[in-house]
A = this chain, B = another copy of it.
Amino acid sequence: MTVRMALLGAGRIGKVHAQAISGNHDAELVSVTDALPEAASAITAQHGGEVRTLDEVAAADDVDAVITCTPTNTHADLIEKFTRLGKAVFCEKPIDLNIERVRDCLKVVKDHNGRLMLGFNRRFDPHFSAVQREISNGRIGAVEQVTITSRDPGLPPADYIAVSGGMFRDMTIHDFDMARFLLGEEITTVQATASVLVDPEVEKLGDFDTATTILVTASGKQCTILNSRRATYGYDQRIEVHGAKGMLSAENHRPVSIEVADQNGFSKPPLHDFFMTRYTAAYEAEIAAFVATVRDGIAPSPSAEDGLMALALAEAALKSVAEQRVVQVSEVL
């Protein structure tokens, strides 16, 4: 069975998913919808499918699933709408910036036995997923300390920051999900520190650009997340897991693995400068997992609850920064 997909949102991340759908033998791109029809038609020209309005998608009987890549403030409404129509939904993170709204949305999904998968693409990175698999295999014994380094090459535009929900909800949210993926035990407390070191404009927008967060589970497992909106050497994405029997790590992935040695020493090119090239394989595997979910009727993962928990951790981190104390996750849920 081929899973027939309608893409909602033809922006940057929409293109990434269209590419992944087009390369997947079990998926078909049926339609693309965007407020700007020319953005939609640019994608259909390359990957097939028709340009449709949202109403046309809702009315269509040739769509099994929707891929939601629209602005964040539309996510919850679209999830509810297409869940009620019986469609499987893949939604980019976050479901909403407001945790109450997320909870309401998840209730709708639950009440309708909806199938909602969240776009935490990094779980599908072949290197990171290999780390998780080795943990599951007991390769390093019980997990004790997880370290996630996650630095963007540069600040997003000010108008993006203004609507992003802030660094913790927009950027660290991926790391919160990764922490949960690797720790294998629910997080109970959060403490964080956050600064503006990259650009004073960020402070005016009420946001941060540099943050360090500690997450702890009930049994005392610790996870540290190191974030910066600046990394001159490229998109810095590493994980390290220390356990009772050893340590597992996934180094940065290099687009070109050459080295030059000369009188100045040994040098390698910078890292990927963009999440799309860094995580190409992850996006492909993510769509493949969603396709399998829809086709085989299995429970989506990362789930709606994973989306909720990551957002709750972001809330708790913000609260910790504001109140200068350790915050219980239960305080924000």
**Partner-B contacts on A (CB < 8 A):** 23, 25, 46, 126-127, 130-131, 134, 139-140, 142, 144-145, 147, 149, 151, 189, 191, 193, 195-198, 210-212, 214, 216, 219-222, 224, 226, 228, 230-233, 236, 242, 244-251, 253, 255-270, 324-326
Q: Is the CB of B233 within 8 A of A263?
A: yes
* CB-defined contacts of A270 to chain B, threshold 8 Å: 261, 263-266
Among A228, A242, A249, find the residue whose CB has the most chain B CB atoms closer than 10 A.
A242
Which of chain B's residues has its CB closest to A230's CB?
B244
Q: Is the CB of A260 within 8 A of B214?
A: no
* CB-defined contacts of A139 to chain B, threshold 8 Å: 260
Q: Is the CB of B263 within 8 A of A232?
A: yes
Question: Which residue from B224, B256, B266 sits with its C-beta under 8 Å from A224?
Answer: B224
Closest chain-B Cβ to A283's Cβ sits at a distance in Å of 15
Q: How far is the CA of A145 from the CA of B242 in the complex (A)?
A: 21
Q: How far is the CA of A290 from the CA of B248 in the complex (A)?
A: 40
Q: How many copies of this chain are found per oligomer?
A: 4
* CB-defined contacts of A224 to chain B, threshold 8 Å: 212, 224, 226
Which of chain B's residues has its CB closest to A248's CB?
B260
Q: How far is the CA of A255 from the CA of B253 in the complex (A)?
A: 11
Q: How far is the CA of A260 from the CA of B196 in the complex (A)?
A: 23
Known: A246-B263, A251-B257, A262-B246. A197 touches B216 (CB 8 A): no
Given known contacts A142-B197, A144-B228, A193-B326, what 5 new A-B pairs fall within 8 Å (CB)?
Answer: A126-B256, A130-B256, A233-B246, A236-B247, A253-B257
Q: Is the CB of A264 within 8 A of B263?
A: no
Q: How far is the CA of A258 from the CA of B25 in the complex (A)?
A: 29
* CB-defined contacts of A233 to chain B, threshold 8 Å: 246-247, 261-263, 265-266
* CB-defined contacts of A266 to chain B, threshold 8 Å: 233, 267-270
* CB-defined contacts of A195 to chain B, threshold 8 Å: 216, 219-222
Q: Is the CB of B244 within 8 A of A261?
A: no
Q: Is the CB of B144 within 8 A of A210?
A: yes
* CB-defined contacts of A242 to chain B, threshold 8 Å: 151, 226, 228, 231
Q: How far is the CA of A295 from the CA of B193 in the complex (A)?
A: 44
Question: Which residue from B189, B211, B248, B260 sits with its C-beta under 8 Å from A247?
Answer: B260
Which of chain B's residues has its CB closest to A23's CB?
B23
Among A220, A262, A269, find the residue whose CB has the most chain B CB atoms closer than 10 A.
A262
4 interchain residue pairs of minimum CB distance: A195-B220, A246-B262, A233-B261, A325-B325
Known: A130-B258, A267-B264, A268-B265. A246 touches B232 (CB 8 A): yes
